[in-house]
Structure 1
Amino acid sequence: LLIIFMITAPMMTQGVQVDLPKADAQNVEVNDFIQVSINNHNEIFIDQERISQVEFKRRFRDVFANRTKVPVFVNADKKVPYGLVVRVIADIQSAGVVKLGFLTLPAKGEPGGM
Structure 2
Amino acid sequence: MAGLGGLGRRRRRRTLNAEVNIINLVDVVLVLLIIFMVTAPMMQGGIEVRLPKAATTPIANRDALTVSITRDGRVAVEDQVLSMADFRQMIPGIVQRKAPKAIYIRADVDSRGGDIVTVLGLVRKTGISSVGIVAEPDGR
Q: Normalised by the size of structure 1, how large is the TM-score?
A: 0.77
User: Is this contact kept in 1: 2:63–2:100, CA < 8 A?
Assistant: no
Match of residue 66 from structure 1: 97
Q: Which has the higher strand share?
A: 1
Higher relative contact order (CA 8 A, sep 6+): 1
Match of residue 76 from structure 1: 107
Worse-superposed segment, 33-42 or 72-81 = 33-42
Match of residue 95 from structure 1: 126
Number of residue pairs matched? Answer: 96
1: CA distance between counterparts of 2:55 and 2:73? Answer: 25
- In the alignment, structure 1 segments of 5+ residues that lack a partner are 1-13, 110-114
Match of 2:66 among 35, 38, 45: 35
Match of 1:49 among 80, 91, 110: 80
| Structure 1 residue 20 corresponds to structure 2 residue 51 | yes
Between the aligned residues of both structures, percent identity stands at 21
Q: Which has the higher helix share?
A: 2
Q: Name the SS of the counterpart of 2:98 in structure 1.
A: coil
Runs of 4+ aligned residues of structure 1 deviating over 6 Å after TM superposition are none
- In the alignment, structure 2 segments of 5+ residues that lack a partner are 1-44
**Which structure has the larger Rg over C-alpha atoms?**
2
